[in-house]
Amino acid sequence: MILRKKDSIEEFDVEAFIRNCNSFAPKRYTYTQIKKMTNSLANVIGKGGYGCVYKGILPDGRLVAMKVFKQSKSNGEDFINEVASMGRTSHVNIVTLIGFCYEMNERALIYDFMPNGSLDKFIFDQENGSTTRCLEWKKLFEIALGIARGLEYLHRGCNTRILHFDIKPQNILLDKDFCPKISDFGLAKLWLNKDSVVSLRSARGTAGYIAPEVFNKYFGGVSHKSDVYSYGMLVLEMVRGRKNIDPIVSHTSEIYFPYYIYKDIEMGKDLRILGVTTEEEKELARKMVLVSFWCIQTNPSDRPPMGKIVDMLEGNLQQVQIPPKPFLFSPKRSPQQSTESS
């Protein structure tokens, strides 16, 4: 265990954590070193509810990103989740945890610096969420495949299986070659038995990517299939170049599902998607759409595991069957209708 009781308060047991890590155990730094390596937290490259991410330089000259947590008791669980989860991983599609700081209320995580930032910058218009296409379809497909491989590793490849619970474009970082790296394990949960259903005290994740069973047990048990759903919503956004939550009615957390894309698939027509021109692009886009539809099936048991998804993406398009139409979606409605229903 990496938690210990001290004066009736649970604390992070640093020594136990390092002992339990694999050979890639992260190094522990002092907060003074953190401030020195970030030039007194001068260069902010990201922000969130947890705190800020700063660009830093290790003593050996290596560029890194340093996630510094706010001085708040509520951040303790997120910090421990990230350190406990990422300390067990080593995969090309998972961000590497290089080091960490744990001093009283001062907490920080140190990762490899990703020069291309997060995926959302390349699939969304940052001003209004409208359609944009910054990457070629071949590169988009490679990114989708890399994320799938990373999730398959978390679910099956680690010594201790990990459920991420917050797969979304903002948590997919891109290195200089646009190789995707899954990041932000603040909501992650260790998963000891591959056949077990995970118990959650409350729903976790981001609106628009949360599987139905995570917020309502009526739909089934929470498991690795919940990450599969989030992945499907992410891929659907990559295909469409826009967010799955309609910004006009976002307060309802209602999925704005594209009826016409599924209809095109059913009818065997060319997909009405921006930027698809060549036969290769048509095949890649169609494969991504089919996979995303399989992933967002309402019933968790109808969703394929990540290993099967990797096979579908790597295999022949003709081998990928058309999935049933996902149940949890509805057409775009007016703000007045949305307000009335809420």
* pLDDT for 42: 94
Q: Is residue 134 located within the same domain as residue 35?
A: no
Mean pLDDT of the chain: 80
Q: Is residue 23 located within the same domain as residue 97?
A: yes
Domain that holds residue 12: 3-112
- Out of 185-189, 222-226, 241-245, pick the least confident: 241-245
Residue 33 lies in a domain: yes
Residue 30 lies in a domain: yes
Q: Is residue 270 located within the same domain as residue 149?
A: yes
Of the three residues 56, 78, 112, the one that is the final residue of a domain is: 112
Q: Is residue 103 located within the same domain as residue 162?
A: no
Q: How far apart are CA 169 and CA 48, in angstroms?
A: 14
Given pLDDT bands bounded at 50, 70 and 90, which one contains residue 16? Answer: low
What is the share, in percent, of the chain residues with pLDDT greater than 90?
Answer: 43
Of the three residues 80, 96, 112, the one that is the final residue of a domain is: 112
Task: Tell me: pLDDT of 329 over 60.
Answer: no
* pLDDT for 18: 56
Q: What is the pTM for the complete model shown?
A: 0.84
For 61, the token pair is 């000259």
Q: Is residue 51 located within the same domain as residue 146?
A: no
Given pLDDT bands bounded at 50, 70 and 90, which one contains residue 110? Answer: very high
Task: Tell me: pLDDT of 248 over 70.
Answer: no
- 249-271 pLDDT, tens digit each: 444 334 555 667 888 888 877 77
Regarding predicted confidence, which is higher, 66 or 17? Answer: 66
- Out of 14-23, 57-66, 155-164, pick the least confident: 14-23
Residue 341 lies in a domain: no
- Out of 232-236, 295-299, 323-327, pick the least confident: 323-327
- Out of 2-6, 226-230, 237-241, pick the least confident: 2-6
What is the share, in percent, of the chain residues with pLDDT greater than 70?
Answer: 76
Residue 10 lies in a domain: yes
Q: Is residue 147 located within the same domain as residue 233?
A: yes
Regarding predicted confidence, which is higher, 152 or 28? Answer: 152
The catalytic site residues sit at: 166
Tell which residue, 91, 123, 231, has the closest CA to residue 168.
Answer: 231
Q: Is residue 128 located within the same domain as residue 258?
A: yes
Residue positions in the annotated binding site for ATP?
A: 67
Q: Is residue 57 located within the same domain as residue 146?
A: no
Domain containing 307 — which CATH number? Answer: 1.10.510.10
* pLDDT for 337: 34
Q: Is residue 256 located within the same domain as residue 136?
A: yes
Residue 342 lies in a domain: no
Residue positions in the annotated binding site?
A: 67
Count: domains in the chain:
2
- 158-181 pLDDT, tens digit each: 777 889 999 999 999 999 999 999
* pLDDT for 268: 78
Residue 295 lies in a domain: yes
Task: Tell me: pLDDT of 333 over 70.
Answer: no
Q: How far apart are CA 210 and CA 226, in angstroms?
A: 7
Q: Is residue 128 located within the same domain as residue 236?
A: yes
* pLDDT for 171: 94
Q: Is residue 63 located within the same domain as residue 144?
A: no
* pLDDT for 198: 64
Q: Is residue 84 located within the same domain as residue 126?
A: no
Of the three residues 112, 135, 157, the one that is the final residue of a domain is: 112
Given pLDDT bands bounded at 50, 70 and 90, which one contains residue 57? Answer: very high
